[in-house]
């Protein structure tokens, strides 16, 4: 193996000199940053206002619908206030944080804030902690905006006629004039005058379903946007129940108070140190963090293996292999290519990991509450060492198989028949990636852990679940042995097939090469 290091050095330098390698290195942090920033930016800045028409012929539900949507907007404003505080205010170091009670940004938090003065109270409490040059708080845009019915339509017309006349507006064929601008109608909410007849009561015969008793009609072309429909449904049903309480001689206000009575349930993690057992939202994300590493491991192994395959086939088809074999042995050439591309993979993975730390550090200092909880775990846990270990062992095993395939094929098209089977096997970890964290020490997880081809992915996915020592040590020993066997078999095939031309050999023929004595 005297010249294997020289071959590895050549493979490494030739690869990192290519433009595609550096594009791949820098694309990952860019994609990571955009994937964490763009969705939040789009939700805040690029989400268009949804304009809707509400026709309440019954006269009893429009106010409660508007009140519910107002509360929905207040929750959005409270979330924006919390994000503003995390980004531009210094943390509380002395005494309790008076704004901690609003962190959840739920209905109860909104009611508490409104009782104390709303947004003005929040900003007043935040003012002493604001950083220098902090921008003023900007109220989020209203997501759902009611608009009046078009002038050519009559609100007392029958519901089918209203729906028919509103169709062109809902399809975008016509626009509405609102506040001096032409706007597109997103949804139409039509509440008929006989809405009471459509109420479904337990143990009561339901009304016959017809055009006259169709309940509330919600018209919208965008089926993916359901928040407005959900808000309308909840508001109307809450009002219907309130009226039912009154009709039965019950105190609706008292019943509402009873509905707001609850016993808090606190999730605690026995693995955390005393006094810090409370489970936070970031802890749930951390439980799924190994799945992200599994995906990254799969992408890196698959990408580097493909690089190794194309490199080998290209040099074989261009007869460069023959020149190299005049100076080194087949074993030195194989090991040199294997470790040279491994160095390329480690370089790329190191750059990716560095970018992860940079992005998480940036997010942890602004509005990234979860990022701030993930970062210390990455620094102190064994996730990164495990990732490096399983990447190397997985690469040696899969790389050996890839080299064996590349040595017997003259073109990438010929290699596809072999690679298709290997790719299908590599899909198994992806298909089980989200299931294993739910039962990390279950039968499926333990069985897959002891199958060498799946060991790197499955054990990486079980990293945060403290798998039994027999699984950790036993599967590691099995993986090392499997990688050694894969390298030995690949060496046998590589030695015979690297100079072979013509049709690729059959599997049976390659097995004979492996069994052949030295």
* pLDDT tens string 35-81: 766 666 666 665 778 899 999 998 889 999 999 999 889 998 898 88
Would you state the pLDDT for residue 455? 93
| Mean pLDDT along residues 319-323 | 77
pLDDT for res 211: 43
Query: What's the CA gap between 343 and 74, in Å, rounded?
Result: 53
Q: Are 53 and 163 in contact (CB under 8 A)?
A: no
pLDDT at 369: 53
CA angle 112, 117, 121 (to 5 degrees): 100
Cα angle 70, 73, 76; round to 5: 155
- Look at residue 174 and give its three-state secondary structure: coil
The band of 478, judged by pLDDT with boundaries at 50, 70 and 90, is: very high
Which tokens belong to 117? 């003065």
Residues in contact with 425: Cβ distance below 8 Å, sequence separation at least 6, in sequence order: 453
pLDDT at residue 213 is higher than 70: no
Integer Cα distance of 296 and 293 in angstroms: 5
Q: What is the DSSP letter of 402?
A: H
Highest mean pLDDT among 40-44, 209-213, 389-393: 389-393
Half-sphere exposure of 35 (CA within 13 A, CB side): 9
Contact by Cβ (8 Å): 460, 301: no
Mean pLDDT of 307-330: 80
Shortest CA distance to 305 belongs to which of 418, 206, 147, 221? 418
Mean pLDDT is lowest, of 64-78, 110-124, 210-224, for 210-224
pLDDT tens-digit map of 330-384: 888 888 888 888 888 888 888 877 877 777 666 654 444 555 566 666 666 778 8
- CA gap 415, 342 in Å, rounded: 21
Rounded CA gap, 201 and 503, in Å? Answer: 75
More confident residue, 408 or 55: 55
Taking the C-alpha atoms of residue 59 and residue 193, their distance in angstroms, rounded to an integer, is 8
pLDDT single digits (tens) 501-512: 767 777 777 777
What was the pLDDT predicted at 218?
A: 92
**430: nearest Cα among 296, 340, 324:** 296
Query: How much is the pLDDT for 484?
Result: 92
Residue 42: the pLDDT is 63
Q: Among 182-196, 265-279, 358-372, 388-402, where is mean pLDDT lowest? A: 358-372
**Residue 365: per-residue pLDDT:** 46
Helices (H), 213-280: 227-247, 252-259
Tell me what pLDDT residue 204 has.
62
Average pLDDT, the chain: 81
**pLDDT of 313 higher than 80:** yes
> What's the pLDDT tens digit per position in 143-167?
899 999 888 888 888 888 999 999 9
Structure tokens at 347: 């370089």
Across 122-138, average pLDDT:
87
Q: Tell me if 170 sits within 8 A of 221, measured CB to CB.
A: yes
CA distance 162 to 178: 19
**Distances from the Cα of 470 to the Cαs of 274, 392, 447, 460, in angstroms?**
28, 21, 13, 15
Comparing 202 with 393, the larger pLDDT belongs to 393
Distance CA 31, CA 260 (A): 44
* Residue 442 Ramachandran class (φ > 0 left, ψ -120 to 50 alpha, else beta): beta
- Give the span between the Cα atoms of 455 and 461, in whole angstroms: 10
The pLDDT, as a whole number, for residue 210 is 46
What distance, in Å, lies between the first and last C-alpha atoms of the chain? 17
pTM of the model: 0.65
Going from N- to C-terminal start, the domains of the chain cover: 4-37+281-515, 49-259
Rounded mean pLDDT of 10-29?
A: 77
Q: Is the pLDDT of residue 456 over 80?
A: yes
What's the confidence (pLDDT) of residue 17?
79
């Amino acid at each position: 193996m005297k010249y294997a290091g020289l071959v590895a050095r050549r493979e490494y330098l030739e690869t990192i000199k290519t433009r595609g390698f550096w594009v791949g290195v820098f694309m990952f942090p860019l994609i990571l940053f955009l994937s964490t920033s763009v969705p939040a930016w789009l939700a805040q800045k690029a989400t268009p206002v949804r304009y809707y028409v509400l026709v309440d012929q019954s006269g009893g539900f429009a106010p409660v619908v508007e009140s519910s949507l107002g509360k929905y907007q207040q929750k959005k404003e409270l979330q924006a206030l919390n994000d503003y505080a995390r980004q531009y205010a210094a943390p509380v170091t002395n005494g309790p944080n008076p704004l901690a009670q609003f962190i959840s940004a739920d209905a109860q938090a909104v009611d508490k804030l409104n009782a104390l003065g709303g947004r003005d109270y929040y900003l007043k409490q935040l003012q002493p902690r604001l950083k220098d040059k902090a921008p003023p708080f900007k109220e989020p845009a209203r997501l759902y905006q009611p608009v009046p019915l078009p002038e050519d339509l009559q609100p007392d017309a029958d519901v089918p006629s209203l729906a028919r006349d509103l169709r062109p507006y809902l399809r975008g064929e016509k626009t509405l004039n609102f506040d001096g601008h032409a706007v597109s109608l997103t949804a139409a909410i039509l509440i008929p005058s006989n809405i009471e007849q459509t109420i479904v009561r337990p143990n009561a015969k339901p009304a016959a379903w017809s055009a006259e008793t169709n309940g509330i009609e919600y018209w919208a072309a965008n089926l993916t946007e359901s928040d407005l429909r959900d808000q309308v449904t909840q508001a109307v049903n809450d009002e219907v129940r309130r009226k039912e309480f009154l009709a039965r001689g019950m105190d609706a206000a008292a019943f509402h108070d009873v509905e707001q009575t609850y016993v808090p349930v606190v999730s605690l993690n026995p693995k955390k140190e005393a006094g810090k057992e409370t489970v936070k939202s970031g802890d749930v994300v951390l439980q799924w963090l190994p799945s992200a590493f599994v995906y990254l491991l799969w992408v890196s192994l698959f990408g580097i293996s493909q690089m190794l395959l194309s490199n080998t086939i290209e040099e074989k088809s261009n007869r460069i292999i023959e020149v190299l074999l005049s100076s080194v042995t087949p074993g030195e050439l194989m090991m040199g290519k294997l470790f040279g591309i491994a160095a390329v993979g480690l370089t790329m993975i190191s750059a990716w990991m560095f970018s992860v730390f940079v992005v998480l550090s940036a997010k942890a200092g602004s509005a990234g509450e979860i990022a701030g909880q993930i970062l210390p775990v990455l620094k102190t846990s064994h996730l990164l060492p495990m990732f490096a270990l399983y990447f190397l062992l997985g690469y040696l095993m899969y790389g050996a198989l890839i080299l064996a395939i590349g040595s017997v094929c003259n073109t990438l098209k010929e290699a596809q028949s072999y690679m298709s089977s290997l790719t299908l096997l590599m899909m198994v970890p992806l298909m089980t990636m989200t299931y294993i964290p739910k039962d990390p020490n279950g039968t499926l997880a333990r069985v897959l852990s002891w199958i060498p081809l799946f060991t790197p992915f499955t054990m990486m996915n079980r990293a945060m679940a403290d798998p039994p020592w027999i699984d950790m040590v036993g599967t590691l020993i099995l993986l090392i042995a499997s990688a050694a066997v894969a390298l030995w078999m690949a060496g046998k095939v590589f030695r015979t097939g690297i100079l072979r031309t013509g049709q690729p050999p059959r599997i049976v023929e390659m097995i004979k090469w492996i069994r052949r004595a030295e």
